[in-house]
Amino acid sequence: MRREVWLWLEAVVTWLNHEHVWDVADVIPPCWPQHPHLVHEIAVLADQRHRAGRVLSSDPLEEWHRHSLPEFTERMRTRLRNHCQEDHQSWPAKGRYSRHVGEASRRRRMDAYVGDVRALKATDDQDRSPRLGLVDLETGEIKQP
């Protein structure tokens, strides 16, 4: 089934590039399978088009042409910029992502999470005002925990 999805997406991209692209900046690059963000978006765009084509009115197709396709194209242009005009280039954000998932960055984030929880707990310990507990659905009475 996965192979069939890839073949379907390949046909969709070929169709989009032939039928819906005039400016070279809007062409889905041949390296699209190497861009997970494009793969996901192309799949959604293809599904939306498929569903719009099955409806008995033209409204969903108009919506797809007016919004879905241009918004996809704009996001693709913004994300790819000029990185894959001639051939696929490696992920420009790879270094930043590697730092994000690195141990030092992960530890700093975990420390921030722990600090936030501690600050909330300290506030909760000081605040002894009544809190919403359970509500008796029969009477609407609020029961204190």
Tokens representing 58? 């033209």
Query: What is the rounded CA–CA span in Å between residue 66 and residue 49?
Result: 12
pLDDT digits (tens, 9 = 90+) for 7-52: 999 999 999 999 999 998 899 999 999 999 999 999 999 999 999 9
Whether residue 2 has pLDDT greater than 60 = yes
Span 125-141, pLDDT tens digits: 665 555 555 666 677 77
DSSP state of 121: H
Given CA atoms 56, 59, 64, 65 in this order, what sign does their dihedral have? positive
Taking the domains of the chain in order of start, what are their residue ranges? 2-92, 93-125
Specify the residue for token string 């992960």.
106
